[in-house]
Structure 1
């Protein structure tokens, strides 16, 4: 008898990581979206590191080994001094990636989350809206306990990553009707169910507002293109003179078993806003479903995204 599928979501990188069989790391604006795009365009290896200084040192070491990498990343959403690229998926081109198919990347939140997940010793996959269905197919082949680590922002939960985690869970719930959700997963799913449009909701996130302000609004639209690719990057560890070196490589397409795809369009399960009222939820409104959850009657429990009376 197959084990029931369980899912948990950790809402920020500062939280404790529970025991799972596989981690899906999400930083939809923008690290995991950029990483997936890098491999879409022909990238072969990408080394995530935890700081700009570490990125510079590793890039120098790789160049001495005969593989000069593309140095990419951000500090406060801007490319650090001396880096080849920032953290924008729309700045990547196939010509650039193919010319240097090895990259080193350091970001404020996303690469740190990847390394934290890697320290648990279980498989780590890179997830975003663009590869949602394929990354779930891959995760289900790795085990029955699926964890989603949201990178968050400045050590706190971020609306954009929470929404993306909820999107993944909605897909997972449709293909696994008996899905068991831990509390973090329930919160993320409720956040997604409060939205009728990913792009509109994502644009209300604090980081999206900041990206729009500094001229990177196109990156938000790019990150919201759901299921645009079957690329799934997976983290591996290589021996290094200082210990182990983390590297991302693409999972071969023929190694990803096709899952039971959702029969319905992938949208949040709430009515669309009436015509003339298409604004995304902001402020306290975006958390209304979570407040409703918190006020639920004591004689009810939530299982697999549904509401059931105890003893039923």
Structure 2
């Protein structure tokens, strides 16, 4: 199995994704939100790139819809939820469709549609993602959403953890890493306390400034669920 990493949504090359399995990671916080929404029983998630499209889809559907997302890490005016996974509670979203737009994560998802499969990955479901990748048995491209088009430490170390899970299960002789994938793996193996490591990250500091401390604790937890959402025909499902 070959593993490569794309450092942000701005660096996705659609032609390189063909016949590959993509894992999209935006652990702070879009993909953590999506996984959590399914933990708490949502029906499906529709990921879009613009606020206008999210609102239009919401207006075209029935009342079983939740609008969620952010711009510049802040809740969008008129939406039900921000980009905090802790807001997507069972009481609010069970059996509902979540329509979601974020600055980076949903753009990375929509930019990866040329892949054979798109899995939604985060720290909270990393081992389960690795197991699913082994079942699919294709070469893997880990797409980091990044922050404002740039490299983001949080997504990178999460990809390193998923790569570590693959190496541990398959054996390192069965995994062929690109230079950047090897770097992500090395980074994770030398910084397994994710929360502590990320305190130096720009995006982490932004979350602290905005008071999202509880989100950071939650999103840096490892393997709290076996749920692996996947993109399928314009919707994310399990």
Q: Same fold (TM over 0.5)?
A: yes
2:12–2:112 contact (8 Å) kept in structure 1: no
Q: Which has the higher contact order (CA 8 A, sep 6+)?
A: 2
3-state DSSP class of the match of 1:117? coil
| Cross-structure match for 1:240 | none
| Cross-structure match for 1:13 | 9
What is the alpha-carbon distance in structure 2 between the residues aligned to residue 130 and residue 175 of structure 1?
18
What is the alpha-carbon distance in structure 2 between the residues aligned to residue 213 and residue 33 of structure 1?
20
Q: Does residue 80 of the first structure (1) align with residue 76 of the second (2)?
A: yes
What is the alpha-carbon distance in structure 2 between the residues aligned to residue 148 and residue 226 of structure 1?
18
More helix by share: 2
| Cross-structure match for 1:301 | none
| Cross-structure match for 2:23 | 24
What is the alpha-carbon distance in structure 1 between the residues aligned to residue 33 and residue 199 of structure 2?
18
| Cross-structure match for 2:137 | 143
What is the alpha-carbon distance in structure 2 between the residues aligned to residue 146 and residue 140 of structure 1?
10
User: Post-superposition shift, 1:187?
Assistant: 2.0
| Cross-structure match for 1:304 | none
2:98 to 103, 110, 115: 103
Q: TM-score, normalised by structure 2?
A: 0.94
What is the alpha-carbon distance in structure 2 between the residues aligned to residue 91 and residue 151 of structure 1?
21
User: Post-superposition shift, 1:202?
Assistant: 2.0
Q: Does residue 159 of the first structure (1) align with residue 158 of the second (2)?
A: no
Q: TM-score, normalised by structure 1?
A: 0.72
Q: Which runs of 5+ in 1 are unaligned?
A: 238-245, 251-312
What is the alpha-carbon distance in structure 2 between the residues aligned to residue 228 and residue 123 of structure 1?
23
Q: Which runs of 5+ in 2 are unaligned?
A: none
2:129–2:162 contact (8 Å) kept in structure 1: no
3-state DSSP class of the match of 2:34? helix
- Larger Cα Rg: Structure 1 or Structure 2? 1
Deviating above 6 A after TM superposition, structure 1's stretches of 4 or more consecutive aligned residues are none
Q: CA RMSD in A?
A: 1.3
What is the alpha-carbon distance in structure 1 between the residues aligned to residue 137 and residue 8 of structure 2?
23
2:193 to 187, 192, 197: 197
| Cross-structure match for 1:39 | 38
1:7–1:147 contact (8 Å) kept in structure 2: yes
Q: Does residue 174 of the first structure (1) align with residue 174 of the second (2)?
A: no
User: Post-superposition shift, 1:208?
Assistant: 1.0
Change (3 A) 1:81 1:139: same
User: Post-superposition shift, 1:143?
Assistant: 2.5
What is the alpha-carbon distance in structure 2 between the residues aligned to residue 129 and residue 57 of structure 1?
32
Number of residue pairs matched? 233
1:131 to 100, 112, 125: 125
